Every structure is written in C-alpha cells, then in structure tokens.
A and B are shown apart, each in its own frame.
Chain A
Amino acid sequence: MNGAVEGVVGIVDDHPIVSYPLADALRRAGYRVLEPVTAVEALPRGHPGGVAICDYSLPEGRTGAEAVAHLGARGWRVLATSGVAGREQALDTIASGAWGYVEKRFTTHREYLHAVGVVSAGRHYVSPLLAAFLLDDAAIRPLAGTDLSAGQRAALRALAEGDGEEEVRTALRLDPAGLESALAGAFILAGRRRRVNRLSPRELDVVAQVGCLGLGLKETARELGIRPGTVADHLESVKRKYLASHPGEKDLSPRAAALRWALELRLC
C-alpha cells in the first residue's frame, strides 16, 4: 500500500503515545491521516469511506458507545478500539454502529492496518476476540426467534480460533459477499440483543411508580389504569431485562429491579 492513498483516517485517542505512532504507521501505509484528536467533537465530518479509529474511553466530550454513535452520524465508519474494555463495552460500540473492534496494542500496528483496510473497503472487521464476544453474547442473551445461524456461529468460531477470512470462506464455502453478509448480520443481532432489553414506555411507567414512589401492585394498577396482574407481568419483564442487560447481576426481586432501573435511568 506504500505511496497509494487509500482513504482518509481519523484517530480519536487521549493517549498521544498511542495515536501519533499509529498515525505514522497508517501514513506509511498510504492513508491520509488527519491530525489525531482527543475528543470526537474535534473530528471534522467524515469523508466518504473514511475510517475513524475511536478509543472507547475518552476523558473529554462523548465517550464509549455514545462517541461511536456520534462519529457514525457524522459520516465516519468507526473502528472502535480499547485496551481495557470488556465484552459489554466492546459490544456496546458494535450496537452503536462500529464496523469493527480492535484491541489496542503497543508493539505492532499490523492489526490496525488490516482492520482499517477491511473497513475502508466497506466490510466489517471481526478480530478473534470480537468473534468470541459475539458468540458469548449470543449465549448470554439468546434472542427469541432469529439468532445467530449455524453458519454465522461457525464463522465466528473459526475467527475466534485464529483462522483468516479466506480460510473461513473456504471452510464454509462462502464468497466474500456471503461472509460479509454473515458478519454484518452478527453485528445487527448484537444491536438487537441490546434493544430488546430496553424498557417499553409502559414498563417505564411501572418502574417510575414502583421504583420511585414505592407503590404496591394495586396502587400502581390504579394509577396507570391497568390490572394488578398486568403490573406484576410488567415487573417480571422489568426484572428479566435488568438481569439480561446486566450480566453478572445475581437474581433480585422485581421491585428491586424496578428501583435499580429507576435510579439508573434517573427517573426519580
């Protein structure tokens, strides 16, 4: 790629010792790299096909998944990156529209170069770790109905094991478009898993009554004009969604889940 202008790359990272060497490596590879910035708000609007490498944890302005969504809305294909983000944070960036996720590394920029090449070509980049994250997410939050297909699972499993894209395509007899479609579908499902665990407007009403005001089933039902049994159903759903969206949380009562949602969503 040396000498050939492949596209525009923006870098958002609060660590100059990471961003500047990375910018140099990308320039050497032929990319036009904008001056690294430390906040997503400082990056100009995206160029067509431009890739923004965005650190997950940013001390200024928007951060995390919100930063990724902001860049995506401004026309960038976002490649999220972090050295410390766990599965939930990494998948939050995917659900917010990131095209891939790269772990930060100090000793080499090879994966960044490869990932930027993949994303600038309009494909999704799935690192071995991201493949494992996607598989585990499907196990933790299985979607009712359509979830990862056997082919998608096989592709992600092979990528997690370290196989390259060509090897995966060969093993699964897929053309490049077929593999891209499978991986893009896995990204969409990761986003859907997070959306289905958002509270509905009625559940938010119940959470506000039960969590903030401490009302019982009958009082809540009277306030909302519904049956106490329906309130109980909503509370069960509220609890299920809380546990599903907070992996590692132990079982808790529906009332406790309502209160936690209320506090987390600042409803009180």
Chain B
Amino acid sequence: MEFTGHDVETATERRMARMIIYARLGTTAFLLVPLASWSRLAAPWAAFAAAAVAAAEAWWFARRAWRTGTLHDPLLVWTDVLVSLVVMAVGSRAAFPGERNVVMTALLPFTLATPAVLGFGFGWSRRAVAAVAVLAAVWTASIFPNITQKLLSDLLGFTLWFLIAVLISGELRGLAGQTVRAQRLAEERQRLLAEYERRQESLRQRESAHRAIHDDLLPIVERVAGSPALDRPTARAARRAARRARRFLTDEHVTAFTDLMAEVVESAADLGLELTHVLRIRADPPPEIGGVLASAAREALNNVARHAGNLQEVHLYAAASDDGVTVIVRDRGRGLSPGPVRHGGGMSRSFAAVERHGGTCRIDSPPGGGTKVILRWRADPRGEDLAGERSGEDLAGEGPGTRGREPQGGPPGREG
C-alpha cells in the first residue's frame, strides 16, 4: 500500500488518537474499584454517579476520536477536562473526609489521562498549561482535608503526564514530517529519473534513426541530388528530400521565414549556382515582409545567374530578429553598378516591393570583386541601423544576454 505524504501525517495522528482512546477506556475501569466498598462509603451513589459519568464520557470520547482520527479537537479535549473535574469533585464526596485519599487513589488513573489528552491535543500551549493547573487545583481541593505527602506525587503525576504527552506527540509528529519530506524527495527523484529515462529512450530511438539516415540514406540522396543527368524536377525533389533529412538530423528549428529562405536556396541550384548560405533566423518578420524579401533575394540570384559570368559562386546571408531583417546576396562574378538600385532595371520590381514595405535595397561592389546586394527591413524605422554596423551588434543579434536560434546553413548537395 502506498501512502502519500498527507496519508503519513494523518495515519500518525490517528495512531496517537487511538493510544489516548485506549488509555481513556482502560483508566475508566479504575472507577469501579470504590464500588466494591459500597457499604463503607459515605455516599456510595456519588461514587456510582462519578463512574457512570466517566464511563459515558469515555465511550463518547472513544467513538468521536476514533471517527475523526485526531486529538486536535477542542470539544473532545475540553469535555474530557470537564468530566475529569466532575469525577474529582463528585467522586471525592463518596468517601468520608478522612478517607478521601483512599477513594481518590482509585480515581487518579482516570484523571491522569486528561493531562495526556491535553498534551496530545493542544501541545505546549497556554490553555493546556492552564487546564493542567486547574486539574491540579481541583484535585487538591477534592482530596481536602485528607492531605498527605501523596498529594505531591499526584500533582507531579498531572505535570509529568502532560509533559510526556507533549514530548511524545512532538516526536511522532516530527517523525511523520520527516517521512513526508523524504517521500517528497523520493517522488521528485523518481519523477526526474522517469523523465530522464524517457528522454534517453527517445534519444536512443532518434540515434537509431539518425544513424540509418546519416549512414545509408542521406549520402545516396545527396549523390542523386547532385547528379547532372537528372531532370530538374527529380533533382529538385532529391534536394528537398536531402534538406528534410538534414533537418531531422540537426533538429533544426524551422520557422516560416526559414522555410521561405530555404526555398530561395533551392532555387539557386535550379539556376546552376554554387550557393553557400547562412540563415540566422531568430524571429520571423511579418509574412508579407518575409515574402517580398525572399522574392528580392530570389531575383538577386537570378541576376547573378544572368550576369555574373562563369564564376558562379554565390553566398546568401539572412538574419532576422525582432529588430528587423538583413538579407545579403554576395557573388564574385562580373558585378553590377554599385549604389542604390535603379528603378527600371531587371530587379526593380521586387526591389521596389521591398521599398514599398519600408525596406531598403542597395548594391555594393566590394573590393574583392563581384557584387553585394543588401536588402534590409527594420521593424522600427526610427531605430538604429543595426544590421549594417560592422563594429557593433547586428540584427542576428550577437548582443549579450540574448538567446539565438542556431544558424542553419551550408551549401546544397552537402553530405553527412
């Protein structure tokens, strides 16, 4: 049977309640002792009444405490205190004044159980200490005038039963608390272990799939994709299959803009360009912005294919964050005239669309030769031109404290 933390504490309370129930019922039997000397008592019916009240209360006490399973019950505790006081007061009247010590000795076990009830029910508290003091006082008054040295022993009994009950209940409750904490630790550990094992199993399965794709499937698909003998649709399908396989192997997080730019990369292969690329997509731009930037990048690649001469090496760089987007198409071919894009040229339509959406387009002629087409769009046009700053942070965000999405890149036709 498995206990929750709550169960352990409840069960401990119930056990403590039962201990006191047994003590309460057991000590009630002592009240029958004076009745055996019925003829020698001053008021035998008083002894009978005390025993009857005590028995009734003990029965009620046992039933209630058994049902609730706790001694944290003010009605239960105060009733027990009251009945003890009644038993002392009434029971003591059964004996002649000079023999009260004898009768009260029989009542003592019953009344000593009450400080224990107080200790278990109220613990170390003012009301409990006050109640014990009242019990001791009434006991002294009840036994008067038959005061002997035994009175000190009786009063010490009231005090010690209370203190022992406080200590025992504290120990048991502390033990229950420790058990609960240990259970919680064990449960957390169990949960984490189960989670770890699930992750390991998942990793094992992925590893197996990775191995099959990496070792057997991808090299063949890559070779097929790179074969010049293939017709264009088949080659494109093979490249797409290879891209999907690589994404699976690298756990690449794909956003809509990443997908869009990946299609631009695909289009370069159709154009016969040898494209390398770096995609640093942290946050997608609005779909219409992504669309026009991708179209412009595609157009720039078309332009490279048409004008860049025999040297068909091209590099595509795309960075996107919450600040904006930068797309750069860099070739090392014949090049175009540097400066802002002239409207009316071959790329004007798609570039004009970028500008209509608040972006900028620029063509540079780097010192190393070729052409560098730079497309930029800023989320906040009034913001700093972060994308182009060579000396500072960029849109792809190498800013400290920011979390980046892994760059995805590489040329088409690569292998694992």
Contact = CB atoms under 8 A, between A and B. Distances in A.
Interface of A: 14-15, 17-18, 57, 59, 82-88, 103-108, 110-111, 127-129, 131-133, 135-136, 138-140, 142, 147-148, 150-151, 153-154, 157-158, 160-164, 166-167, 170-172, 214-216, 247, 255-256, 259-260, 263
Contacts of A132: 278, 280, 396, 407, 409
Nearest to B314: A162
Contacts of B316: 162
Interface string B247-290: 00111100000000000000000000010111010000000000
Given A83-B414, A150-B391, A163-B330, A140 B403 contact: yes
B380 interface: no
Contacts of A167: 366-368
Contact of B398 (A14, A139, A162): A139
A214 B214 contact: no
A161 B328 contact: yes
A157 B246 contact: no
A135 B250 contact: no
B407 to A, nearest CB: 4
A259 B166 CA distance: 39
A39 to B, nearest CB: 14
A134 B167 CA distance: 64
Contact of A83 (B226, B246, B372, B397): B246
Contact of B411 (A105, A138, A148, A160): A105
Interface stretch (B28-36, B216-224, B334-342): B216-224
A131 B390 CA distance: 14
A267 to B, nearest CB: 13
Contacts of A163: 330, 366, 368
Interface residues of B, number: 63
Specify the main secondary structure of chain A where it touches its partner: helix
A104 B406 contact: no
Contact of A17 (B219, B274, B406, B414): B219
B400 A18 contact: no
B413 A105 contact: yes
Contacts of A142: 400-401
Contacts of B198: none
A136 B278 contact: no
A56 B215 CA distance: 13
B349 interface: no
A136 B253 CA distance: 15
Interface in B132-179: none
Contacts of A260: 192, 196
Interface string B280-317: 10000000000000000000000000000000010111
Interface in B384-398: 390-394, 396-398
Nearest to B221: A106
A15 B414 CA distance: 13
Contacts of A154: 390-391
B223 A106 contact: yes
Contacts of A140: 403-404
A153 B181 CA distance: 51
Contacts of A172: 390
Given A139-B404, A170-B367, A158 B390 contact: yes
B214 A84 contact: yes
A254 B402 CA distance: 22
15 contacts: A15-B219, A103-B414, A128-B317, A129-B278, A135-B398, A138-B398, A139-B401, A139-B402, A142-B400, A160-B280, A161-B315, A161-B372, A162-B276, A162-B372, A164-B368
Q: Which 7 pairs of residues, A with B, have the shortest CB-CB distance?
A: A162-B315, A162-B330, A84-B416, A83-B416, A132-B407, A142-B400, A84-B249
A84 B217 CA distance: 13
A153 B313 CA distance: 25
Nearest to A149: B391
Given A105-B410, A163-B368, A167-B367, A136 B280 contact: yes
Nearest to B410: A103
B416 A139 contact: no
B379 interface: no
B120 to A, nearest CB: 28
A84 B247 CA distance: 8
A147 B367 contact: no
B214 to A, nearest CB: 6
A14 B214 CA distance: 10
Contacts of A135: 396, 398
A214 B186 contact: yes
B244 interface: no
B390 A171 contact: yes
Nearest to A252: B192
B82 interface: no
A142 B189 CA distance: 32
A83 B221 CA distance: 13
B399 interface: yes
Contact of B315 (A84, A107, A128, A147): A128
B56 interface: no
Contacts of B406: 86-88, 133, 136, 247
Given A136-B406, A260-B192, 14 more contacts: A82-B416, A87-B407, A104-B415, A107-B226, A107-B413, A129-B407, A136-B398, A138-B400, A151-B391, A161-B317, A162-B278, A167-B368, A255-B192, A256-B188
A38 to B, nearest CB: 11
B185 interface: yes
